[in-house]
Structure 1
Amino acid sequence: MSTEAPVTPFAALPGAVGAPPQHYGAPLREQKALAAGEAIVDLSDRAVLALTGDDRLSWLDSLTSQSIARLQPGESAETLLLDPTGRLEHAIRLLDDGVTTWLLVDAPQADALRAWLDRMRFMLRVEIADRSSEYATIGSLGSFDEIAAAPNGVPLVWVDPWRAVVRGGHQYAAEAGHPSADWSYREIVVARETLAELTRLPAAGTLALEALRIAAWRPRLVTEADDRTIPHELDWLRSAVHLSKGCYRGQETVAKVHNLGHPPRRLVMLHLDGSEGVLPAHGDAVLDGEREVGAITSAALHYELGPIALAVIKRSVDPAATLVVHAAEATMAAAQETIVPTDAGAEANVPRLPRLGAVHR
């Protein structure tokens, strides 16, 4: 038996399962506390990158999807780094404190993102550093801002813009009843050396956060995206894309799909038949009759909604169809709740041109 200290002090709390803990023995009770803004979530396995230098914001603005050149100290934003064909490569949660722009990313992204950004600096006044050994991330839906680090005098609190459509963005989902209205999520950057002290606060596990995220229709790169994903499929234009900013990598695809075409796939939330008592896993097949039409991206047991999931399916699937999910241990029915509708895109309403040689009467 290993006698090594836990990777995170939260893993030493009573009932903790995992590091960072997935739960502390009562996932549904933890969900309720988190939803009420009364608990924090240890996300110390995520990465914290720092950009310094006078050109940091204008430079990042030129590379990514959001308009951030004039981001003010203390303001939060979300931006996407796309490949030249418009497919998702990185999702970045960022805030600026007047001296440093802080990039909060999932750990698997950190090395590749830092390396790519480093190659793109050229002669600009910007430096990139991984500060994950000094700083950690804490999640919450409440106000625990007093625990935030403030190395340059501005508390490092990233407030998720998902709660409303940002300026320059666009929402494909119906406005009425969008669950983001209750999504008050924030990520607080703390000094890593203070994590042990923060275990005195009420804690919820990552499973609780995941359930609330799914219920808010909030996409996450490491779960909802694959190597074909474009932002439109996940309704990610509402928080992370500015449709009228200057040129950036992948912009042509973003504009073309939004103005003239339709995304080939669409994000849905599924209400699952819970009679088997199991949840599907990431990648499990979603079927319409005998036809495979997509895959589960995230699933959780919600304290009010029961078993739910996000899935990416073909655009053509009838929104009224009851789907079937093939999990390893069970097959379950799944009722759709539309996030991205079948007619998403084609916002320019460009009239169809007549075919050459067509006869006009």
Structure 2
Amino acid sequence: MGKRQSAGFIYRLAALITIAVVIIAVAAACGKKEENDGLQQGGNAKEAASKKEGEGQDDLLNKFRATVKQAKEAADIVSFLNENMGKAGQANADIMIRELNAFYQTDLPRTQEQFYQPNVQEILLASEQPITAANAASFEDKAVRQLVVTKLSGGYRLEQAEGTIFPIVDYAMQQKFSAYLSDALKQYVALKAVESSKPAAKDAGLVISWDELAERAVMAETFVSDYPDSPERAEVLQLYTDSYLSMYIYGLNNTPIFDYDTYKLKPETKASYEKLQANHPNTVTAETVKRFLEVLAGTGGRVYENKEGMQTKIAAVQRFHERFQADARSQLESE
């Protein structure tokens, strides 16, 4: 091949290569544009779907509030939640449960009054216990049957104490919604469910063990510590100091912490105090019990003393009793 032919071939080859490079570059640019367009369209679709979901959840909350406003029975609200809670979203699910519980606060006195209408107590006390929707369905009295079934389907349960049967809020029912709730509200419902399913005390006496009472106290204390911004914190703090901790330190009339003959702390109560300190050493509850045992160490283990045949307060114990609830509250508030 001559020099002129060789040069011509090289020029043509270079031109072909240049054209190929341009074609590849254009194709790549087009592909990149298509990819970007696809990503943008996907992002827009997700954004639109998210917006639509949010609007749907807002509409659902509005429908829920309309249901609450019109509800004559808690059963109307619970029925709405059963059908729609899975579509609410966590924030709205929390709102719905709180508004259900607000409804109970106003509805409970009315509901309790209904159970003291003529014949209701007589029929309930003569029935198989505990009363459930299943055995209530067999009540011959139509009005009582409808009353009980309606209240049970609305998230109440029937409790018996001092010879009467009365409704309380069944927080265990709300636990079926726990998967949709925030951690704080989930723990609140769990805490309340423990008490509503098995109240700590009845007829002025404990119906659970000292150890179980201690665990409930620690559970309430933990909630107060873990969720300082929870709207339910003040309620749980009061439950802790005025109920669980109070019963654990004072005892109850029919379940005293001391022996009536010697006025000394009962061995089973002391054993529970010591077990609590071992199992939950870094809690306000354990610290409170520790200080109480230190006070009793100075009284020979006596909670009261016998003076002329009378149960008499001991000054050191009285001072502790006057302060322990406020001290516990102060410790939790300072955390």
- Output the TM-score relative to the length of structure 2: 0.24
Structure with the higher fraction of residues in helix conformation: 2
Which structure has the larger Rg? Answer: 2
Structure with the higher fraction of residues in strand conformation: 1
- Output the TM-score relative to the length of structure 1: 0.23
